[in-house]
């Protein structure tokens, strides 16, 4: 048995669209498939504007430029996240202020945000870890009261909801990732900037087109295009958009398959959770998740190393996840941790992720579940 940790999602529909795009006269950005994909998102997410980008990292960079982040501005986020959530704002000169996470969801602890706000704070970045929603009503209420912007890092959150609203559509902006490790991919790399406040739309298109008003020119709104603002090359190739289109036609299939795998793991492991060996992911009321990650939180770091080694010998590629950013070299330079680190380090040290991807077989999940049972049976016997 050799069970990969991840396989890029692939439904079989992608090829025909990629070929069609390749054989067209326009394979750079903003072609036929880009338009189709962006319209699909605008309709499904009920957002003001959806802009395909070269990655989620770049979508977050666009957000930081749009919000005019400058030297010394402060941005609040959890330390338990991917580097890009922070880096996008650090690139503009911001100082990152980390607050602790909630142990139940590994998401930012919304009750710790207000204490971290200073007169320099401009943005809150909730990260929906594992596609499980942050407590957005509380976060939006804090942002309203302090006149702050909210940029949702919903890289893992496509098809998830909070009180019926799609993740990424609740803050002023949101960002999705179509990297090969996410639930949907645009041929390996790609992202989406979701704009929920229409005042940002025109400027966003300028930033995505190297700081020019080229998009307005093609829409016939200006008679020549020129350099109007800072920007970069953030437009996704139409061939990549074509690949993603093949998956958007199958979102229900992909989503229900992942949820079925997630539920198989959960049912197979809940008995061991009840015995107190580890904790399984918690999904808060009024949120719907997308089966992006299935994790266990075992007793401690030592147990995690033991179980990862044990699974490896069985041919199972389980892995751990983020090293908290505040403990990293760049984190120490560009950020500070506000309040106490009660859960961030402790909970991240004991978290491990099991193989999870579209079309993972039931027989493979059964094998993983049995290996974990065996590991704990052996531990019990040898006590």
Ligand X SMILES: *Cc1c(COP(=O)(O)O)cnc(C)c1O
127 binds ligand X (CB under 6 A): yes
Touching ligand X, residues 322-361 (CB under 6 A) = none
107 binds ligand X (CB under 6 A): no
Single out the residue of 21, 85, 185, 247 in contact with ligand X (rule: CB under 6 A): 85
Touching ligand X, residues 155-184 (CB under 6 A) = 155-156, 177, 179
Single out the residue of 21, 30, 55, 344 in contact with ligand X (rule: CB under 6 A): 55
57 binds ligand X (CB under 6 A): yes
81 binds ligand X (CB under 6 A): yes
**CB-based burial of residue 85 (10 Å sphere; 0-12 exposed, 13-18 middle, 19+ buried)?**
buried
Cross-strand partners of 353 = 295, 319
Touching ligand X, residues 201-240 (CB under 6 A) = none
82 binds ligand X (CB under 6 A): yes
In terms of C-beta distances under 8 Å and separation of at least 24 residues, what long-range contacts does 341-346 make, across chains too?
A: 341/79, 341/100, 342/100, 343/100, 343/101, 343/102, 343/103, 343/109, 344/78, 344/79, 344/80, 344/98, 344/100, 344/101
Q: Say how far apart CA 332 and CA 201 lie, in whole Å.
A: 34
- Minimum CB separation from ligand X for residue 268, in Å? 26
Size, binding site for ligand X by CB under 6 A? 14
- Minimum CB separation from ligand X for residue 176, in Å? 8
Nearer residue to ligand X within complex by CB, 72 or 188: 188
53 binds ligand X (CB under 6 A): no
Q: Which residues of 257-285 are buried (b: 16+ CB within 10 A; e: fewer)?
A: bbeebbebbeebbeebeeeebbbbbebee
Nearer residue to ligand X within complex by CB, 34 or 213: 34
Nearer residue to ligand X within complex by CB, 129 or 149: 129
Answer whether 132's CB lies under 8 Å from 283's CB.
Answer: yes
User: Per this entry, what is the length of the chain?
Assistant: 383
Would you say the C-alpha torsion 253, 255, 256, 260 has a positive or negative sign?
positive
- Minimum CB separation from ligand X for residue 283, in Å? 18
Cross-strand partners of 96 = 75, 335
Cross-strand partners of 50 = 194
Per the listing, tokens 């992202």 go with 191
74 binds ligand X (CB under 6 A): no
- Which of the ranges 15-23, 148-156, 269-277, 361-369 carries the binding residues for ligand X, by CB under 6 A? 148-156
Q: Say how far apart CA 319 and CA 352 lie, in whole Å.
A: 6
- Which of the ranges 150-158, 329-337, 340-348, 355-363 carries the binding residues for ligand X, by CB under 6 A? 150-158
- Which of the ranges 8-16, 19-27, 30-38, 151-159 carries the binding residues for ligand X, by CB under 6 A? 151-159
Minimal CA–CA distance to 5: which of 294, 244, 255, 281?
294
Single out the residue of 47, 56, 69, 371 in contact with ligand X (rule: CB under 6 A): 56
Residue ranges binding ligand X (CB under 6 A) = 55-57, 81-82, 84-85, 127, 153, 155-156, 177, 179, 191
């Amino acid at each position: 048995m050799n069970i990969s940790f991840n396989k890029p999602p692939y439904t079989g529909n992608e090829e025909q669209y990629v070929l069609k795009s390749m054989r067209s006269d326009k394979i750079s950005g903003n072609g036929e498939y880009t338009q189709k994909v962006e319209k699909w998102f605008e309709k499904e997410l009920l957002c003001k504007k959806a802009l395909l980008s070269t990655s989620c990292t770049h979508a977050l960079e666009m957000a930081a430029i749009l919000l005019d982040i400058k030297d010394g501005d402060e941005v609040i986020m959890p330390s338990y996240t991917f580097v890009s959530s922070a880096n996008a704002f650090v690139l503009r000169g911001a100082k990152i202020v980390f607050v602790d996470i909630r142990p139940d969801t590994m998401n930012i602890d919304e009750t710790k945000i207000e204490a971290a706000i200073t007169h320099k704070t401009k943005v809150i970045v909730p990260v929906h870890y594992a596609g499980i929603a942050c407590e957005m009503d509380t976060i939006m209420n804090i942002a309203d009261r302090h006149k702050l912007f909210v940029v949702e890092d919903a890289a893992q959150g496509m098809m998830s909801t909070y009180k019926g609203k799609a993740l990424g559509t609740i803050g002023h902006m949101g960002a999705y990732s179509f990297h090969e490790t996410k639930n949907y991919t645009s041929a390996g790399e790609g992202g989406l900037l979701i704009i929920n406040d229409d005042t940002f739309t025109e400027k966003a298109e300028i930033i995505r087109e190297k700081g020019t008003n080229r998009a307005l020119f093609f829409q016939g709104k200006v008679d020549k295009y020129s350099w109007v603002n800072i920007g970069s090359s953030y437009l996704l190739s139409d061939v990549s958009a074509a690949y993603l289109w093949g998956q958007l036609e199958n979102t229900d299939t992909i989503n229900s398959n992942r949820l079925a795998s997630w539920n198989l793991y959960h049912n197979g492991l809940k008995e061991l959770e009840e015995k107190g060996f580890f904790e399984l992911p918690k999904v808060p009321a009024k949120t719907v998740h997308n089966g992006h990650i299935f994790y266990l939180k075992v007793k401690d770091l030592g147990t995690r190393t033991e179980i990862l080694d044990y699974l490896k010998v069985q041919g199972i590629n389980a892995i751990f996840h983020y090293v908290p950013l505040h403990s990293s070299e760049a984190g120490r330079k560009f950020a500070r941790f506000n309040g106490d680190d009660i859960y961030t380090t402790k909970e991240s040290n004991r978290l491990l992720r099991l193989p999870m991807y579209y079309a993972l077989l039931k027989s493979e999940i059964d094998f993983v579940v049995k290996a974990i049972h065996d590991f704990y049976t052996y531990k019990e016997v040898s006590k």
